[in-house]
Amino acid sequence: MSAHVCHALKCADPCPPKRLMCRRHWRMVPLTLKRAVMQSFQPGQEEGKRRPSGWWFASARAAIRAVATKEGHLQQTLAWADDPVEDRPLVPEPEDPDAA
């Protein structure tokens, strides 16, 4: 099993599985979004015992976008704007080398 890393764009810093981001990036998230992420977290979702709620996915994506905007990575987040929140993983799935 691979180590859990920060979900902020272009960051590979390790962080505990219960955390969305490393400390540096979490400090950049507006307080209202921090509260939404924490309130929508369901114990056990980091272990795969529970599926994260749609509210958690929406809150997490908003937090990731907020940090990306502050860091100047806005172009990479524009593609998420119209996607259904529940259907996209926070981390891109690895590409299948056999599919082509």
pLDDT higher than 50, residue 87: no
Query: How many structural domains is the chain composed of?
Result: 1
Name the pLDDT band for 77 (thresholds 50, 70, 90).
low
Residue 36 resides in a domain: yes
The reply to whether 70 falls in a domain is yes
The residue range of the domain holding 74 is 23-87
Beta bridge partners of 5: 14
Does residue 15 lie within any of the structural domains?
Answer: no
Q: What is residue 100's predicted lDDT score, i.e. its pLDDT?
A: 47
pLDDT of residue 92: 45
pLDDT in tens, 38-54: 999 998 888 888 888 88
Residue 45 falls inside a structural domain: yes
Whole-angstrom CA distances from 52 to 10, 56, 70, 71 are 23, 6, 26, 26
* Residue 5 domain-assigned (yes or no): no
pTM: 0.71
34 in a domain, yes or no? Answer: yes
Establish if 100 belongs to a structural domain: no
> Helix/strand/coil (H, E, C) string of the chain?
CCCCECCCCCCCCECCCCCCCCHHHHCCCCHHHHHHHHHHCCCCHHHCCCCCCHHHHHHHHHHHHHHHHHHCCHHHHHCCCCCCHHHCCCCCCCCCCCCC
**C-alpha torsion angle, residues 47, 85, 7, 1 (rounded to 10):** 30
Q: Is the pLDDT of residue 6 over 90?
A: yes
Average pLDDT along the chain: 80
